[in-house]
Amino acid sequence: MSVICSETFQRSFEVKGVKARIMKLTRSRLAILVISFAAVFPRAGHAESLAIRNCTWCHGVSAQGYNPAPGLAGQRREYIQSQLRNFSEHTRDNPFSQLYMWGATANLRPATAHDLAIYFSTLPPQAADDGYRALEEKGKAIYQLGMPDANTAACVVCHGPNAEGVGEIPRLGGLAYTYLKRRLEQWGQGYHATAKPPMPGIASKLSVEQIEALASYLSFVK
Amino acid sequence: MKFIRATSQFVILTVVFSATARADAVSKQNFAAKIGYCQDCHGVSGQGYRGFYPIPRLAGQQTEYLENQLRAFVEHRRTNNVMFNVAHNLSPAMIRALATNFRHFNPRPLGGAPKNLVTAGKKIFEDGVPDANIVACAACHGPDAVGKNEFPRLAGQIYPYVVKTLTNWTSERGQIPGKPDTSAVMQPVVHSLTKSQIEAVAAYVSYLQ
Amino acid sequence: MAGRGRQHTQNSARRGLPIVGLQLASQAAILTIAFTTAGRAEDAVSKHDLQAKMTYCKTCHGSSGQGLRAYYSIPRLAGQQPEYLTNQLRAFAERRRTNNIMFNVAHVLTPAMQKALVTDFHELNPRPLGGAPKDLVEAGKKIYEEGISGADIPPCASCHGPDAKGNEQFPRLAGQLHDYIFSKLKNWTKERGQNPKEPDISAMMEPIAHGLTEPQIKAVAAYVSYLE
């Protein structure tokens, strides 16, 4: 936790520097971007930006993730909402969720959750690119074709050809290797057992090697 | 969820193994594992699923039709990479057991199609569009869209799947000209249907129980 | 009339030759069109339209008109008597024969299209679909050729021909789907002759359809379904 605090402290300095530069360049494209963002989110006032900052402390200023917090940029809106619900209802119970997200969502109003989900879903995602390149091919094969002999369904059918997800089915593309690996392992360990089928069933059958291959491949997907 | 799944699998096994004559050709364990695999994508009761790709309902489907499709995937007459992988390792006994099993399910349709299209869709389904040489679907699929033998059940099929299937018929089915299959019968139909007619009829059948 | 003509000529004489020329030309055109249409009615149906309509029919009736066992048993049209087919299409359109799907098909057909379709189907000759229980064929042949004297049922052959190929308004039965025949004979009065004010030729079959027992129907249906 202390490691994360110092990191976020350092980041807050960076934020102040950026703000100074923005104020200097009034005709810059950045200014236009900020203005247009405010126009798009008419209710974006003091309370709204506070809520976003509450997330970006851990998930990164551009919401690309910061270990152990996953990237939120470009994540499916409905998925973010459903997970925020799972956190506040304590049905998503893996260790880091308990430690951080239960508290983070304890006082989160549904309307704010809704707006946050929309906001993060519109940010452009960047691939974490931190998996093992050597495992990428194997991971891709599992992702595209599944493993029929082991009765493991092909991820692509639900998560899409670029792992972008749809509806409540999450984007996996570009998420960090350690995050994906941890999530897949935890289902096998019995966490988040009440997640919508079929994930608990599918993930709990995967071997360690298969998980590492999948997590590697997905971390590279743009 | 696990309890429901376990119970439904128990029921399935009882039904299937009393129904199929060569039950010993497929072990209970293998069958249970394989059915679970199908259900991961096609839904716990075979009701279909709106994944990135729409995954069709298998519940209540005609056995002969399912078997034909599984064979079509294996022979690449119907092109689908995922389903080829699923199907090409299945023994004939397993194919029969799976196809028979899904016939017995009867969950409610997933729904979700635009309701304002249903009336127009019903008309096309029952009467066809004679001026455009579009046959009435009911002639082959039955008035309740339950199908028969190699003619598939359409009742309760998920809307985006029906739309996608009709739109992409000739680019997915009958892909081996030297080995024509039953999909050829649909060609004049899909050729004549307009986009809005496809959407209407898909919406209509998706709500049928 | 003569007065008007003179006045017209006087007018055209005043306006000059072009008007007279136009009149004559249009009269010539009308005559040409009339003679063309009257002489060759089939040409009123374009090749393209006919092919499209045939494809449409064949979707259900089979790629060579051999019939199709779908949800319903859809009958063979190949080799069918044109007069019988025409009668049935009209019966569907006028709802003397009740079938919602065929009503929709038939009521948009022009007489020229009807004629073209029945002619084309008559020319087709695919093998029968088959599928009937073969052990019934012998009994069926007996009924077909000799009738059933005890029940006053005449031999089918007397109207449908010894080879079941039919004649004019009597339909061909050779190669017809056995389950279609069974269903029609069993449900004859529920489907045909539905307009009491306009009785049709289907009335002829009523006592026969009524008099045959189910096993007899199955037998004769099996027999004719294998005939080529």
Contacts B139 to C, Cβ<8 Å: 60, 70-72, 74, 101
Chain B touches chain C, with at least 3 Cβ pairs below 8 Å, answer yes
Count the alpha carbons within 13 Å of B182 in the hemisphere toward its beta carbon: 17
Position B178 scores a pLDDT of 86
For residues A205 and A8, the model is more confident at A205
Task: Tell me, yes or no, whether chains C and A touch by having 3 or more C-beta pairs under 8 A.
Answer: no
Intra-chain end-to-end CA distance of chain B, in Å: 24
C-alpha to C-alpha distances, B178 to A39, A195, B75, B162, C62, nearest whole angstrom: 60, 47, 12, 27, 19
pLDDT in tens, B96-146: 999 999 999 999 999 999 999 999 999 999 999 999 999 999 999 999 999
Region of residue B75 (left: phi > 0; alpha: psi -120 to 50; beta: else)? alpha
User: Residues of B numbered 62-81 whose beta carbons fall under 8 angstroms of chain A's beta carbons: which are they?
Assistant: 81
Q: How does residue B15 score in pLDDT terms, banded at 50, 70 and 90?
A: low
**pLDDT reported for residue B179:** 85
Tell me the backbone φ, ψ of residue C68, rounded to 5 degrees: -155, 130
Distance CA B133, CA B193 (A): 9
B51 vs A145, A148, A158: nearest CB:
A158
Contact B56/B48 with Cβ under 8 angstroms?
yes
pLDDT at C150 over 90: no
* Dihedral angle of Cα C116, C118, C120, C126, to the nearest 10 degrees: 170
Chain B partners of C63 at a C-beta cutoff of 8 Å? 184-185
**Is a pLDDT exceeding 70 seen at residue C93?**
yes
Q: Does B25 touch chain A (CB under 8 A)?
A: no
List of residues 6+ apart from B154 with CB closer than 8 A = B137, B141, B145, B147, B162, B205, B208
Considering only CB atoms, C100 lies closest to which of B126, B133, B146, namely B126
- Whether the Cβ atoms of residue B101 and residue B45 lie closer than 8 Å to each other: no
Question: Which residue in A161, A207, A163, A160 sits closest to A184, CA to CA?
Answer: A207
ipTM: 0.79
Arithmetic mean of pLDDT, C175-181: 97
What is the number of CB-based contacts under 8 A between chain A and chain B?
A: 66
Question: What is the torsional sign of CA B8, B14, B16, B17?
Answer: positive
Alpha-carbon distance values, A9 to A13, B78, C122 (Å): 7, 58, 89
Angle between helices C111-123 and C47-61 (to 10 degrees): 60
For residue B134, list its beta bridge partners. B129
Instruction: Name subunits touching C (3+ CB pairs < 8 A).
Output: B
Q: Do C70 and B127 lie within an 8 Å CB cutoff? A: no
What is the dihedral angle through the alpha carbons of C157, C159, C161, C166, rounded to the nearest 10 degrees? -130
What pLDDT sits at residue A4? 42
C-alpha to C-alpha distance for C160 and C158, rounded to whole angstroms: 6
Q: Which residues of C83-121 are buried (b: 16+ CB within 10 A; e: fewer)?
A: bbbbbbbbbbbeebbebbbbbbbbeebeebbbbbbbebb
**pLDDT of A104-152, one tens digit each?**
999 999 999 999 999 999 999 999 999 999 999 999 999 999 998 888 9
pTM over 0.80: no
CA C207 to chain centre: 23
Nearest residue to C54 (alpha-carbon basis) of C27, C85, C20: C85
Q: Distance between CA B74 and CA C120 in Å, rounded? A: 39
CB spacing of C104 vs B185 below 8 angstroms: no
Q: Is the pLDDT of residue C11 over 50?
A: no
For residue range A25-60, list pLDDT tens digits in order: 555 665 555 555 555 554 444 545 888 988 998 999
Assess whether pLDDT exceeds 80 at residue A200: yes
Q: Is the dihedral of CA A178, A179, A185, A186 positive or negative?
A: positive
| C18, pLDDT greater than 70 | no
d(CA A168, nearest CA chain B) in Å: 9
Tokens representing A30 are 């950045």
